[in-house]
Amino acid sequence: MKKLNIKLIAFLMFGLIPALINAQEGTVTIDQPKAIEKLLEFKKDIKTVDLFKIQVYSGSSSFQAEKVKSEFQSTYGEWPTEMVFNTPNYKIWVGNFRDRLEADRALLRIKKNYMNAFIFQPKKD
């Protein structure tokens, strides 16, 4: 019985286990167009732009948020608007301002109708 156990252990250690370990070796080849490499190089060279936005509304009613967004667009059509849902509130964000000065100028105009509006920088994903 002991000889059988020793033979079984020896077989597992020197025969089966090395075969399993070697079975996981391999190589991976990635075949991609040259244009992808050029795009990746181009993306490295692009400087990330920090944009500023203005929040004009925050509340739990999607209906009210849509209403504010529509009213804002009809009054101030020159800036893009978006509705964002951050649990539990809907928010209306305005603009993609490249610098704080541009955002400050817009905020002066917006504050006439939206007194609680403020400037912020969205978090990067």
Pick the CATH number of 52-120 from 3.40.50.360, 3.30.300.210, 3.10.310.10, 3.30.70.1070: 3.30.70.1070
Asked if residue 90 lies in contact with residue 21, where contact means CB atoms within 8 angstroms, the answer is no
pLDDT in tens, the chain (125 residues): 566 567 666 666 666 555 556 556 678 888 888 888 888 777 766 655 679 999 999 999 999 999 999 999 999 989 999 999 998 999 999 999 999 999 999 999 999 999 999 999 988 75
Residue 90, beta-bridge partner list: 59, 85
Where residue 14 falls (left for φ over 0; alpha for ψ -120 to 50; beta otherwise) is alpha
Give the C-alpha separation, 55 to 68, whole Å: 11
